[in-house]
Structure 1
């Protein structure tokens, strides 16, 4: 069962997190950045039980990790927690996080595309190389994902690995996250000797942000503890929906933009405006 909480007593997550011009320039150059202490220990202590409770309640896996395919081994994936629990909604709608996303992208406002809890179980497999935006029916560079651990992530488990400046390559492949994407994109990265960055161990409440086209992967979890991560995907306010060119994008159009069509503003009832300058 999800944790029952007095939601009015939860931290508001409304205060500003100041970014320097150098941090914004670094993100826009490299397509990714790590920011320390985006949420405080007290804030994480309040929200982690709520989010992990929703994940436990909604976990759809019935097979042990060893019997799943590559995608299933990678993580427990639960989407749109903001619709499932009022406490999770306060976290996802946080002005602080949304303002960081807008300022990193250099836009005036951002909407939620969707959120996802990505919990990598003990013994969980790697997350193959991929670009998030192959799934999204959006023709814009102005998408960004916040990736925040709710528990400390050790060096052994590690955070994601990003290919520096790969967002500038744009739409490289329609391949979904799979063994094939890992092989194809891994060969491309190695062949071109593209530089990569990994931020290693992270504290609970630290966060990475990466662009929708940034190539990235994540290692498996050899530890005995769950790697609990919450993600929030933002899209700039005013972006329009693109014509889906794959079944994955058609599925996302139906799931995350209900009632909308190509050419419409990416602003259904599932895509609330969470920050405007």
Structure 2
């Protein structure tokens, strides 16, 4: 079996337009079953091996019931690094953002355990000390995600709304953001994901996920991309300060985030 994660995936102009209008897009058949099986088993193994969560599910906070999460699996080398450094996803990210290239912000494995709770409504960029909105997360399920497993759901066109941008993932964010989305009339798109389907969403697009009501884990790998020219901004909350120190070490406010752990993963030929 030959696997080439640099093989391009053609994104249509209609899909790019939908992404820019809605703040997200879902793309079918980005990966095939063989590719997901090849990398998925190792990603799941590393997630369990590196997990430090020992509190029983029923005793955790809403945030901690949502998923087990391990960041920067690529630093473990091997198949995890191959997956994160593949150009297929990175090229799609650059196409959707309309940038000359993209850097890695960080990767993140999200493992929603059987019986795991909801992922409350939020916008990711609350956590990120980044100067512009040219960020996108690729959400890659390592298996099909039926409705009862808690597929990621997006509030279409919500990326322009500023209310809720100061709320981290919590019971309060679920209540307040969901109410505001309903007030605006933004539709929640949370249909099941087919095997090989991948979603991409902007950093300011509000989203949530349901509980995992099955007896199987919902294993997902995400890669967060930012414009190749992204600059660090002064943190506006303690979470952004922590992210600066962990995911952009050595970067300086106002300068391009060009550090050893923020490599360029795709750039167009001059």
Q: TM-score range by the shorter chain?
A: over 0.9
Q: Secondary structure at the match of 2:213?
A: coil
Cα distance in 2, alignment partners of residues 275 and 236 from structure 1: 10
Q: Secondary structure at the match of 2:25?
A: strand
What residue number does 1:109 align with?
A: 101
Shift of 1:37: 1.1
- Does the CA-based 8 Å contact 2:118-2:150 persist in structure 1? no
- Does the CA-based 8 Å contact 1:54-1:85 persist in structure 2? no
What residue number does 2:193 align with?
A: 202
- Higher mean alpha-carbon deviation, 74-83 vs 260-269, is at 260-269
- Higher mean alpha-carbon deviation, 69-78 vs 39-48, is at 39-48
What residue number does 1:44 align with?
A: 36
What residue number does 2:263 align with?
A: 272
Is 1:241–2:232 an aligned residue pair?
yes
Q: Secondary structure at the match of 1:110?
A: strand
- Does the CA-based 8 Å contact 2:164-2:173 persist in structure 1? no
Is 1:140–2:151 an aligned residue pair?
no
Cα distance in 2, alignment partners of residues 71 and 273 from structure 1: 31
Cα distance in 2, alignment partners of residues 171 and 189 from structure 1: 10
What residue number does 1:218 align with?
A: 209
Report the TM-score when normalising by structure 1. Answer: 0.94
What residue number does 2:185 align with?
A: 193
The structure 1 segments of at least 4 consecutive aligned residues displaced by more than 3 Å after TM superposition are: none
Shift of 1:11: 2.1
- Does the CA-based 8 Å contact 1:134-1:171 persist in structure 2? no
- Does the CA-based 8 Å contact 1:243-1:262 persist in structure 2? yes
Pick from 46, 61, 64 the counterpart of residue 56 of structure 2: 64
What residue number does 2:243 align with?
A: 252
Cα distance in 2, alignment partners of residues 266 and 11 from structure 1: 31
- Does the CA-based 8 Å contact 1:77-1:117 persist in structure 2? yes
Report the TM-score when normalising by structure 2. Answer: 0.96
Is 1:17–2:9 an aligned residue pair?
yes
Shift of 1:36: 0.8
RMSD: 1.3
What residue number does 1:183 align with?
A: 175
Mark the runs of 5 or more structure 2 residues left unpaired by the alignment. none
Q: Secondary structure at the match of 2:70?
A: strand
- Number of aligned positions between the proteins: 268
What residue number does 1:154 align with?
A: 146
Shift of 1:139: 1.9
- Does the CA-based 8 Å contact 2:119-2:208 persist in structure 1? yes
What residue number does 1:231 align with?
A: 222
- Does the CA-based 8 Å contact 2:122-2:164 persist in structure 1? no
Shift of 1:190: 2.0
Shift of 1:170: 4.6
